[in-house]
Structure 1
């Protein structure tokens, strides 16, 4: 079985939705929920330990999403005709997504970290820096690449982006090992394993399964902006469910 890039995007979207549902709905309910309304009354009947295990399992499964997005980012960079337009698109959606991200994850207008598009935009700038460094065939090449990687990691640390330096290292591995598919997937997913080891039992490494099935083809094309808009819209919808259906107001705090 082979998977196109569009199929990988759908896998990433579905696992991300599962992850964020576990966080935005279930974990907030466990922290602040009260009976009331059909959904609230139903959740109230479930043993909290069981519900907690379900939420944790959903979050574990969600660790698959970001490695896929990081891999597809490198693919997009390698095939795009204009990396600047690609990066500008990421920046625009980073701005669009910041408030929905903060509302959903941090239960406030300003969150403790930045959304995934900030990480992806920084990753694109880093990949452009790598490409420029590859023009050199002496010691400067490795020096420039190391400086580019350090700058990207430093930027994500300063911005407190969602995946930080670990995300930059993962994207770098997917790009620098691109000449060998197995090594490429293994390298990026090994970084993801280490990055998710503490909070997610290393479940990021599970992304290796769909990535090794990647065919290198785009697959059936639809409206590409569906994939871009899904991120802020699903976060906003989950926040509104929590606020209006579960009646958990913003003032009740954060579990993010």
Structure 2
């Protein structure tokens, strides 16, 4: 495949509206989003318990690597399916703001004001979705502004959320290509020597980010669980579990 053909395909994917023939799925990947969100919040909760109370115990963080890519994927599905993307963005932004003080109290309780601009993951997700909204609507200035903001300031995962959502969006009907690009974006084989969170088995050492690969089956393979969970539960869970961790920090 020539470089020109590759660029032409990318351009076509970017400019193709998210409108599909009636009766045809918009995505060939997993649409069981309530189940995916449930996996993501359980993974995130375990990760945050480890980060707050057991920072050098690796398995908490290994499990936690599933959360962010699954959240990014679910937002991509929302970008394609939601009836009102502006309301979706408003809800996400509202809970990002509400969660920020609880996030700082949970993870930086002794340095609250100095760490207040260490933005929580909902802020990253909000800007990532805003960037993708700009791309989908061809508001290139909005895409550039949101992407620059999330990369420049102190946002968890930086611009990785935007890049992941680009992969999920552009490869919405090419799961195999999406899986390959997912691995390239997440760089799961990168190892920081001596990191206590690394996975060591015999003579093999894997960086703890390797465990993002285990999010792939949930994203790229179909499941059929479809649990009945109110959508507000997923929003409310984030500040609620941070508040719980903050209270435990204070008590302990």
Instruction: Name the TM-score, length of structure 1 as normaliser.
Output: 0.72
* Structure 1 segment 127-146 matched on structure 2, within 5 A: 127-133=132-138, 144=140
Give the Cα separation in 2 of the matches to 1:218 and 1:128.
Answer: 28
Q: Deviations over 1:47-89 (max 9, x none)?
A: xxxxx3xx22211220110000000000011001111000000
Q: 1:165 to 1:194 in 2, by over 3 A?
A: farther
Q: Which residue of 2 aligns with 1:124?
A: 129
SS at match of 1:220: coil
The structure richer in helix per residue is 1
Q: Which residue of 1 aligns with 2:198?
A: none
Give the Cα separation in 2 of the matches to 1:164 and 1:26.
Answer: 24
Question: What is the deviation of 1:157?
Answer: 2.5
Give the Cα separation in 1 of the matches to 2:160 and 2:191.
Answer: 12
Structure 1 residues 105-114 or 74-83, which shifts more?
105-114
Preserved CA contact (<8 Å) 1:87 1:121: yes
1:243 aligns with 2:245: no
The gaps in structure 2 that reach 5 residues or longer are 1-29, 193-206
* Structure 1 segment 44-193 matched on structure 2, within 5 A: 52=56, 55-107=57-109, 108-110=111-113, 111=115, 113-133=118-138, 144=140, 150-193=144-187
Give the Cα separation in 1 of the matches to 2:189 and 2:162.
Answer: 11
Q: Deviations over 1:214-233 (max 9, x none)?
A: 34x78233211111111111
Q: Which of 199, 205, 224 is the matching residue for 2:231?
A: 224
The gaps in structure 1 that reach 5 residues or longer are 28-51, 135-143, 247-256
Give the Cα separation in 1 of the matches to 2:74 and 2:231.
Answer: 13
Instruction: Name the TM-score, length of structure 2 as normaliser.
Output: 0.73
Q: 1:103 to 1:228 in 2, by over 3 A?
A: same
**How many residue pairs are counted as aligned between the two chains?**
206
CA RMSD of aligned residues (A): 2.5
